[in-house]
Amino acid sequence: MNEVSRVVDVAVIGAGAAGLYAADLVRRAGHSVVVLEGRDRVGGRLLSVPAAGGTLDLGATWFWSNEAQVNEVVAAEGLVAFRQYLDGDAMFQNEQGAQRMQGNQVDAPSGRLVDGTQSITHALAARLGDGVIHLEAVVTTVSEVPEAPEVLAIATTCGQIWHARQLIVAVPPATAEARIDFGGALSEPVRSLAAETPVWMGNIVKVVAHYARPFWRNAGLAGAAFSYTGPMRELHDMSGPHGTPAAVFGFAQPGAGHPAPTEAEIISQLTALFGSEAAEPEALHVQDWRTEPMTSPDNVDDLTKYQTYGHPLFGEPILNGRGHWASTETATTAPGHIEGALQAATRAAQAVVVRLATVI
């Protein structure tokens, strides 16, 4: 039986980087907040797994030196960063086979974290303290409360109903539109925009091959490649500092109705690019983000209008001024990046604080 848990100033849907950062900004402004997350973990599309001597990222991997907010969080939390490995030659693969390039035209200078990018969300979650984040709380409906028109009712699969004066939607718009019943409260232009906005990396299968050592470096290779044949179209070195743990990762985009690449297909490509030693990874991680219902709607492969990212409508309040978008897709700066998530979160949190100060 559903019951109202309590009334809070702000409810946040999603405990990824955007949701947790927005919640922290709201908390710092003196408002009560709850974060509702459908998964059994925080992080969203930031997902790091332990490996011998470090971590491997199955979600977002990089950040860049010109991205002020993510660098501020990394510094403030004392997270240890290092540079993406760039040395050596990249590989190119087409129907004629694998060819060695001169230099590395695949990679660009970027930063990584020793403990993986999910450590950003672990740090942000720790800022919020106990009782704020509710895991395995899938939001099903957002509705008005007839007897209290100043609040929204947010129902979850846990059987709880939260009443909040303001709502921050920190999941991809297309996912929110597909998974949450807003009771017709979204205007048609907003609903249509949300439904057609691609989920960043939502249609990607990320493959990480973990090895005993970065053998490709001894051959003067960067661990990077472009491929026209696949299954992975783009590959990069994912080794930790000083080559530990040693790993290569790649992005596959199978397309609608097609399964993730098989282990045999992956190994075949890796050996073609990097030699026979690539045939024996210590572990092979295949993360199909299309199968993550908290990330991707069922039609994620059909969403291709990337020009919708940062659309002005995403910067406008929804739900009669009580709701705000805050996923990386809605950012006007670095959409798709962790930086974009933090930028969108800042915009949403600032709008919420202003609204709470002006609306009784």
Q: What is the pLDDT of residues 184-201, one digit of tens each?
A: 999 999 999 999 999 999
Distances (CA, A) of 146 to 29, 141, 203: 28, 15, 39
- What pTM was estimated for this model as a whole? 0.96
Mind listing the pLDDT tens digit for each residue in 231-273?
999 999 999 999 999 999 999 999 999 999 999 999 999 999 9
Query: Which tokens hold the place of 64?
Result: 């860049």
Query: Omega before 245 cis (within 30°)?
Result: yes
Between strands 221-227 and 205-211, the pairing is unpaired
Give pLDDT, residue 344.
Answer: 99
pLDDT greater than 90 at residue 219: yes
Give pLDDT, residue 240.
Answer: 97
For residues 8 and 358, the model is more confident at 8
Contacts by 183-191, CB closer than 8 A, 24 or more apart: 183/141, 183/142, 183/143, 183/144, 185/142, 185/143, 185/144, 185/318, 185/319, 185/320, 186/318, 186/319, 187/318, 189/313, 190/313, 190/318
R_g of the chain, CA atoms, integer Å: 21
> Do 93 and 225 contact (CB within 8 A), yes or no?
yes
What are the extents of the domains in the chain? Answer: 3-44+120-200+294-358, 48-68+76-112+203-291
pLDDT greater than 50 at residue 128: yes
Mind listing the pLDDT tens digit for each residue in 9-51?
999 999 999 999 999 999 999 999 999 999 999 999 999 999 9
pLDDT greater than 80 at residue 1: no
Give pLDDT, residue 182.
Answer: 97
> Do 212 and 243 contact (CB within 8 A), yes or no?
no
- We find that the CATH architecture of domain 3-44+120-200+294-358 is 3-Layer(bba) Sandwich (3.50)
The CATH fold of domain 48-68+76-112+203-291: Polyamine Oxidase; Chain A, domain 2 (3.90.660)
What average pLDDT does this structure show over 158-183? 97
DSSP 42: S
